[in-house]
Amino acid sequence: MLSKGKSYQDLYDSFIWRIPEFYNIGVDICDKHAGRKNRLALIYEKEDGTVENYTFADLKTLSNRFSNGLRAAGMKPGDRLGILLPQSPETAISHIAAYKIGAIALPLFTLFGTDALLYRLTNSEAKCVVTDRDNLDKILKIREQLPHLQHIFVVDFKTEPGISDFQDAIRKGAGAFTPVRTRADDPALIIYTSGTTGPPKGALHAHRTLLGHLPGVEFPHNFFPQENDRFWTPADWAWIGGLLDVLLPSWHHGMPVVAYRARKFDPEFAFHLIAKHRIRNAFIPPTALKIMRQVKDPAARHNFSLRSVGSGGETLGTELLEWGKHTLGIDINEFYGQTEVNLVVGNCADIMPVQPGSMGKAVPGHQVEIIDDEGNLLPPDETGNIAVKKGDPVMFLEYWRNPEASRKKYIGEWCLTGDMGKKDGDGYLWFVGREDDLITSGGYRIGPGEIEDCLIKHPAVAMAAVVGVPDEVRTEIIKAFIVLNRDASADPELEKNIRDFVRTNLAAHEYPRQIEFVDDLPTTATGKIIRKDLRRRG
């Protein structure tokens, strides 16, 4: 754990990784705290306002029971467990149980449509899925196309052939379970990340990734944990930001987390939730902060007292940082990372000045540099590739069954983030731009390839290209340039139909908010779309 009171340089220079040979995330975040029966782990507020509290002892028993249920369903070490659930106790229990049995957890976003789910479940060859009634129909629609899927557990659902009630599995499962003795380098988690070409790639992480995340959580949250700290994020636990920036690190330290299932982000309610549950620490994506900034004088109605707020995914800027000081009463600490190698750069206002526009400095334990295309270090203030030194415990193992993409992620001893940046003489890192065409919208990093693939499945669409265009609130919004089939006519009704098609089949956050019908698309001699030309047209 990082110790407060040193200078940044002393803290960075003195940091030493201590990664054990054997390590299991489930045991670490749950069982090791269960000896203190009243130690609070989870505060879960339901949509109707009722609140359920869970201790670590509760979670140990429940996850043991579900571990036995998964074993009874045929799950073995290395098998993949899809978790298609929002923030909820069942989500946490499923993760803990997966890690304890040595399986590989596969978080799935509840806003995914059938196409997105089909690809991820097929590519990962998931053996079991845990979901709820709201999302069950999506799984049933594609079930016949999933030959490896053997079992579905559904929260609050009466059993029928091939489907089990989650709570019933827990009731029937024994309360005792001996976790698999996993090594720190054994696989634990696959999180799919979008790319600019081809389908999404599954970033495979080892159990050690949680230990690798700890400095990147402690640093921007001003030496978390402190007495009475309590964590919350509006980010879904299906994403690395919700899961490994908040939930799992908090439980490593034995600190409580607040969970709430928000169907839509409500800034007024966010202030209410922070005050009601005495939340002291929060990861709030920039888009959510921008929306919260629109609430007038929230302190007049909500008695909140935040100690730390971390944010990342896009640059915050001076105005938002000043709002944080004035309205939240704290310095918002910006940080940087990606699904493959997360939380490696950050700010810590308690120990160093925050430079507006900068991502911060390398978090202790991580070597982050700017390199050229041959892997050579570049001098200060020169733009190049943002890269992280190999051997870092937070770094992914590989892209799931994609050795070519895994190989391209590295230059020598450096893992490429795919982003361009520069490092000043004081060690602050500055984001310059993306090497690829990823779209940053509402805190999500979205690849155009998957959206384009979905668009061309629409019967009226012949060709499609997707880019991000600037937006004050979301940083970027998705714009689609579409060439229609000869028998289709452009009109507002078709435009709406195409939007709804993507929203239903892919994900609600990936539908194009703008559509422009065009006669043709700019392409290279080999047929690749020239997206930079489309971005200029905006």
Q: How many domains does the chain have?
A: 1
Residue 96 pLDDT > 70, yes or no?
A: yes
Is the overall model pTM greater than 0.85, yes or no?
yes
Q: Is residue 338 part of a domain?
A: no
pLDDT of 350 reads 96
Say how many residues make up the chain: 538
- What would the pLDDT profile of 43-78 be if each residue is shown by its tens digit? 999 999 999 999 999 999 999 999 999 999 999 999
Q: Is residue 465 part of a domain?
A: yes
Whole-number Å distance between alpha carbons of 484 and 520: 9
Q: What are phi and psi of 392, to 5 degrees?
A: -80, 130
Local structure of residue 343 (DSSP, 8 states): S
Whole-number Å distance between alpha carbons of 497 and 512: 11
pLDDT of 489 reads 93
pLDDT of 378 reads 97
Place of tokens 């009171």: 5
Cβ 443 vs Cβ 241: under 8 Å? yes
Provide the pLDDT confidence category of residue 197 given band limits of 50, 70 and 90. low
Sign of the alpha-carbon torsion through 53, 56, 60, 66: positive
Whole-number Å distance between alpha carbons of 15 and 12: 6
pLDDT of 159 reads 67
Whole-number Å distance between alpha carbons of 138 and 346: 38
- What would the pLDDT profile of 357-409 be if each residue is shown by its tens digit? 899 999 999 999 999 999 999 999 999 999 999 999 999 999 999 999 999 99
Closest CA to 334 of 384, 296, 376, 289: 289
- What would the pLDDT profile of 308-345 be if each residue is shown by its tens digit? 999 998 788 888 999 999 999 999 999 999 999 999 99
Token readout for 528 is 């690749």
Q: What are phi and psi of 448, to 5 degrees?
A: -70, -25
Asked if omega into 234 is within 30° of 0 (cis), the reply is no
Q: Is residue 46 part of a domain?
A: no
CATH of the domain at 448: 3.30.300.30
Q: pLDDT: is 94 or 450 the higher one?
A: 94
H-helix or E-strand spanning residue 124: helix 114-124
pLDDT of 412 reads 96
Average pLDDT of span 302-307: 98
Could you tell me what percent of the chain has a pLDDT over 90? 82
Whole-number Å distance between alpha carbons of 128 and 120: 13
H-helix or E-strand spanning residue 116: helix 114-124
Provide the pLDDT confidence category of residue 6 given band limits of 50, 70 and 90. confident
Sign of the alpha-carbon torsion through 474, 439, 425, 381: negative
- With residues binned 3-state (H G I as helix, E B as strand, rest as coil), the percentages for the chain, rounded to 5, are 30, 25, 45
- What would the pLDDT profile of 436-464 be if each residue is shown by its tens digit? 677 888 888 787 878 988 998 899 998 89
Kindly report the average pLDDT of the chain as a whole number: 94
pLDDT of 252 reads 98
Provide the pLDDT confidence category of residue 536 given band limits of 50, 70 and 90. confident
Local structure of residue 186 (DSSP, 8 states): S
Q: Is residue 514 part of a domain?
A: yes
479 SS3 class: strand
Q: Is residue 167 part of a domain?
A: no
pLDDT of 196 reads 54
Token readout for 530 is 């020239």
Closest CA to 3 of 274, 351, 469: 351
Token readout for 121 is 């479940």
Residue 526 pLDDT > 60, yes or no?
A: no
163 CB-near residues (< 8 Å, 6+ apart):
136, 152, 153, 154, 157
52 CB-near residues (< 8 Å, 6+ apart):
42, 43, 44, 46, 89
Token readout for 356 is 């507006």
Q: Which residues span the domain enclosing 526?
A: 439-537
- What would the pLDDT profile of 227-273 be if each residue is shown by its tens digit? 999 999 999 999 999 999 999 999 999 999 999 988 889 999 999 99
Cβ 430 vs Cβ 421: under 8 Å? yes
Residue 194 pLDDT > 80, yes or no?
A: no
Q: Is residue 521 part of a domain?
A: yes
350 SS3 class: coil
pLDDT of 195 reads 58
Q: Is residue 380 part of a domain?
A: no
pLDDT of 527 reads 62
Sign of the alpha-carbon torsion through 345, 110, 28, 192: negative
| Distances in whole angstroms, Cα of residue 22 to Cα of each of 73, 342, 538 | 26, 22, 51
Beta strand 257-260 pairing with 345-346: unpaired
CB atoms within 10 A of CB 140: 14
Q: Is residue 531 part of a domain?
A: yes
Place of tokens 């700010």: 347
Token readout for 289 is 């902060």
Task: Give me the DSSP letters along 253-274.
Answer: TT--EEEE--SS--HHHHHHHH
